[in-house]
Amino acid sequence: MTDQTFLPRLGARVTWTCALLALLIVAALPGPARASGGQKDAKPAATTPPAPAAPQGYTYDAAGRRDPFVSLVARGSDLRSATATRPAGLGGLSVDDAALHGIVRSRTVYVAMIQAPDGKNYTVRAGDRLLDGTVKAVTDGAVVFTQQVSDPLSLVKQREVRKPLRPTEEGK
């Protein structure tokens, strides 16, 4: 073969290869961009549907293991405060928010006076329920609460919180 017959064949191959590549690129473009010559439509793109909500009756008990369906980013206490509104009264007061202001002896039992962050005062006895716990005991110098731990990573599900009437001085 001479150089004169080889050059036209090479030029035809390059032309066909470029045309085939251009056709593949146009075919790979999304539908609206291909129809309008690469320009965007005036209509906005369709939004993705929202994620499905968790089932209402969902419970998980795996004997102390972590629930695989609970997010590790948002801990248990964050979930409770974000999803539920607190009821009014003593039932809406958490153990951490309760401040002990006094203890009164009523015949044979002790009654504690606790104050909520909004300034309302409540009297509690042993057995009264709060938002995240119950009053276990009221003694002459402290109130003992049993608090439900809502942290999904914690192995302990309940803890005992003691709120003394007079804070102890560590430096004495």
pLDDT, residue 130, reads: 92
Please tell me the distance from the alpha carbon of residue 165 to that of residue 119, in angstroms, as a whole number. Answer: 18
pLDDT, residue 9, reads: 63
Q: Average the pLDDT over each of 4-8, 54-58, 134-138 and give the range with the smallest value.
A: 4-8
pLDDT averaged over the chain? 76
pLDDT, residue 98, reads: 92
Which one has a higher pLDDT value, 33 or 145? 145
Exposed / middle / buried, residue 161 (Cβ in 10 Å: 0-12, 13-18, 19+)? middle
Query: Which pLDDT tens digit goes with each residue over 126-152?
Result: 999 999 899 999 999 999 999 988 877
Structure tokens at 60: 């998980």
Interval 162-170 mean pLDDT = 81
pLDDT, residue 70, reads: 72
| Helix, coil or strand: residue 159 | strand
> CB count, 10 Å around CB of 154?
13
Structure tokens at 40: 């965007």
**Residues 164 and 142 sit within 8 Å (Cβ to Cβ):** yes
Name the one residue in this structure whose structure tokens are 């009297």: 123
